[in-house]
Structures are given as structure tokens and as C-alpha cells.
Structure 1
Amino acid sequence: MRLRYLALALVLALRLAHGAETVQLATYYDYVPWFVPGQPSAGFNALLASKLNGMSGGRYHFESVYIPRRRLDVLLHEGKASIVVPWVHPRFFDDPGRTRYLWTAALMDDESLVVSSRAAPLEYDGPDSLRGKRFGAPSGHRFPDLDPLIAAGAITRIDVPQIKNALQMIVLNRRLDFTIVDRSTLDALRNDPFMDAALLHVASRPRTASYERSMLVPLDKPELYRFLQGAVDALRNDRNWLAPHRRSSEHQAAPADR
């Protein structure tokens, strides 16, 4: 009898999985704490996918994936794939009025920092204070406040594969004067064996005030949005849901050759 019930439960689970709508939980951050290349179950994005799958009751199946920013913009514009983008803010997607996409409540708060070498520290006092400097930034990432100065040649932007590369170059005094990094990422990278955080200087004034990281949902997915909004409300009541991954991600490092 017990085996029969187990068999029925397995059949039901398979049916639910088969009928579930697959949703790509897409991040364009291919570094800790958000995503760990080669370790699909590690990082905040994978943890969020697992949490959402447990909450959906088989209605949705969320897959944690990395998609480069330029490709992600194309996919969102085409509207053909079922994609949700967590860990982002409306200004990252030119949507200050929140009219191009649906936006959930915040998953977490963060802030943007200006980081330079301790040997040549920079203090930040608005974009103009960065004139004449060399700026390392991950390819495809946007910085609306700095882009006019970059376009005018007042700031030299040097694209790097990921933020970790920019921080390493600053530590080694190679070609870069500063980079922009979020506090969540910097905290996760402090114990990276390939980077000595003691050689970095964080400007006393953040580039931005504290801001919310939410989930972007396409306008044509109102039912999915309602589910995600309820899920975020539940997660916000559990202040420690990220704590285990927050601690473990501090000891994760992306491959040195990336």
C-alpha cells in the first residue's frame, strides 16, 4: 500500500512538473553573490529560484540562468521568452516611471560605491569629480550619470569581463583609476583569494543613496507578477532567508581566468 501511495505521489509530481510554466530567472551578473559560474546551485539567484519553486506549488518552474546584458535587452524587447529579472532597479532599465515593466517590492536594499586604489584614493563628489579618470566597468552595464562624461571623453571607460577583473586591476595599479561596485558584491568578494581588499579604497560618499533591488516582470505576465509579488511579500517577512547564502558566497570565487 505504501509503495502504491509513493507511486501515485510520483505520478502527481511528474504531472505537475510537466504542466508547470518554465520561467527563466535571469541575471546578467555572472559573479558572486548573485551567480557562481560552474556551480548552478550557488548564489542568490539559485537560492531565489529554489524558494520560488517551493512556493509555486507546481504552477511555475523557475530556472536560474545567466544571460549577458545586451542579449537580455534583446530578449526583453522581443518578448518571446518567459523571463523575470531579479536583483534590479527601474533605473537600470530606463524605466523610472515603472511603465515599461511590472516591478515587485524590494528583495533587498543595496548601494553603489566608488572604489579606487588605496595607493591613489579617490573621494567622490558627484560625476564631475571623476573627470580625467579611467573607469573599469563590466561590458554592457549602464551608468546613466557617467555616460555623458564618457561620451564626451572626460572619463575613459575600459570594459572588463566582470567587476572582479576591474577590482583586481585597481589592486595591481593597472590602467584603471576607479570602478563602481555595489556593496553587496564588494562584501562577497572581500575574501576572494585572488584579491586583497585591504588595497582598495571605498569613497566615503556612495555614488547612490540606498536603493531597492526588485524583480522586473514583463507587462504581458500579470498573473506571474501577482504570484511573484506575493512571494516577495512572504520573503520580506523572513529577514534571514538570504543569510546562509550571504555567508557562503563570501567564500565563493569566480574562476581566475574569467
Structure 2
Amino acid sequence: MRTQSIPVLCCMAAAFLFASCQKNGAQKEAQPDPVSAEVLAQIKANGFSTENVVKTEDGYLVEGDILLTAAQLKETVTSPVLRVAKTEQYRTNYLVTALPRVIRIKVTSLGTAFIAGTDTAIARYNRLGLRMTFQRVTSGAAEITIRGFNQGPSGGYITLGSSGFPTSGGDPYGTIKMNTNQYAYGSNPNVLYVGSVIQHEIGHCIGMRHTDYMDRSYSCGGTATNEGASNVGAVYIPGTPSAPDANSWMLACSNGGNRTFNANDVIALNYLYH
């Protein structure tokens, strides 16, 4: 990933911009099927960015790597989100429930780097001692399936992966998609980098938003964007700093390499799931 013939910029499980810095949540894809003004208004009302929204067969891809279904957009969000300092930790209106529980993860039709990356991500979560643990399975039922897709660059960006948010019934989002195109992770994917992207996508599956959702320029550069709290609200987590928080595993834009939980990520996850 770091040494490719084309300079790329990574969108944390979202989009790579062909440039010199690493991007994580600003996907520029061709949109042959335009997103209607009504849908954009629903996305905005739910507190998500309306920039570069992509319509897919499953719903709408927002903020680079988050899949929202049409049904989710029609729901009224009433639960609070989490805030960590000025660069905040956010969660969605639904979380994984029925704790303690084991979340089984299955990797289908992907290479060894993606399997090893999944094991890396699982180990990082399980070391936190949460009431929700993860286990990779090779057969039988699984709450989360990681599968591949092959999609090349478009408009200077390439999607690395995507996922969604927990269901209203308290289950994690069931699918993580990882890009197998040569320009996504290269011909010899770095396991720690792939694992970091999977770790980020699992974060979405259990209800985490991008840490710098209120100001994506913090990790992505460019113009500061504040979508507002909408009807979601925000709850500050005691004990977190009042200054910007670097290197969170849920920052909108990746650093292009290995990134795991920082101290405030652990506080946020413990607040939700310990």
C-alpha cells in the first residue's frame, strides 16, 4: 500500500485519493444514478454528510465507507451520541445488545492477508475485555461476514471497504466489504494495514461513527465541515481531554498504515460495552 506505482491516498475503509496524503472518508465515485433531493434531505436530517453520496444496490454509501439503507433513513433518531473532547467519539442510535455475547466473523473468498487482518482486528478488540467479544469462524452461522468486491479507481479515488450500523434489534451490521482491486491494497497487502481497515469497519458494525465527524478536515484536510448534531444529540464522556484527539481508530481519514485504538477510543468502547 505504501509503495505503489500510482500515488494513492487512503480513505479509511473508504476512498483512496491519488495524491500525497491519506484520505479516509471522501469518496468521489461516478454517480450514474443520481441521489434524489429527498434522500439527501433524509441523510442530512440523520446527521450524515451529503457530500459524494453514492447509491448502491444495498442503499446509500455516505462519508466514504458507511452504508445506510432506505429503511434506516426513514427512522427517527432519538438516542444520544458520544463525544470525546473537540474531536468527538460518536455512536449511532442503535448499539449491539443482549450482552455479554460473542460476535462470530466469517471471511469468505478472500486471501490470506484479509484472513490475517481479520484475526489482527479481532485480537485488538478482545484484548479490551469488553462484554462483547469476537471470534472468527470458518463454517456455520456468523453475525458479520467479510467478503470481497473488485472496483477500480474512479475520479481519482478507490473504495477500500464499507460497512453499516447495528440493526434496531441490537445485532451488529452483517457485512463488511473489502476491495480486492490491485489499487486498493496492492498485490501483497500489508496485514497490519488491512487489519486496521477491518478494525475500523467493525467499529461501524457495532455502532461507532467517525471520530472527527464534526470537523472532517481534522484528519482529511480541506475545508472544515460541520454537519451539526441534527436530532441525534451528544453526550460527553468524563475523563477525556478537551483538546483534539489524534490517531483514533475511527478518524474519517486514514494515515495509510497501521492504526489501532488510542486511550480515548478505549474509554468510548468501555463506556458502551464494558
Fold agreement, TM-score > 0.5: no
User: Larger % of helix: which?
Assistant: 1
- TM-score normalised by L of structure 1: 0.25
Scaled by the length of structure 2, the TM-score of the pair is 0.24
